[in-house]
Chain A
Amino acid sequence: SFELTQPPSLSVSPGQTTNITCSADSLGNKFVYWYQQRPGQSPLLVIYKDDKRPSGIPERFSGSNSGNTATLTITGTQATDEADFYCQAWDSSTLYVFGGGTRVTVL
């Protein structure tokens, strides 16, 4: 079955760039969505269709998807960006699939 793999955790210093990866076979052939989930809150869509940013999402969030890997990049990471981030894609057999999530800690 189709599975999305993310690193469990990342630590970053304020102002630095955070790159969160999401991997699966031929992921570049699918659209990838990214969600931010702060503690105790529901998920928030931050990137859709690989690299599109919804209204209201800061420009420091960007996305890319090629080959087997999609990447969510946070440029100039802020303390408020500390959260769990999930990638998600659609697959014909498994339908809507989420990655395991990456906890981003801003030190």
Chain B
Amino acid sequence: DQQVKQNSPSLSVQEGRISILNCDYTNSMFDYFLWYKKYPAEGPTFLISISSIKDKNEDGRFTVFLNKSAKHLSLHIVPSQPGDSAVYFCAASAQGTYKYIFGTGTRLKVLA
């Protein structure tokens, strides 16, 4: 049973436009969320995080939104750049656990 789901395996966006990557979760105990970016032949790289006490966190071109009632989070990248082309994973953890549950990833392709 996949507790963290990224239902879009791939996404293509034109350079300069907004990329929106979505992530849904089923476990209401999750209260801390991360986004990672992964290039081929490299390990995942931490991008941005959000705690359940917030509904938005922004870092430069990257903004993560959390909708707790819908158990949904999204990552917005504005403006998208070709170097953003990678696989993006969301991950969630519950209070009192050391464990992050990862989604299956969304492959973003930013077209020049």
Q: Are A and B part of the same complex?
A: no
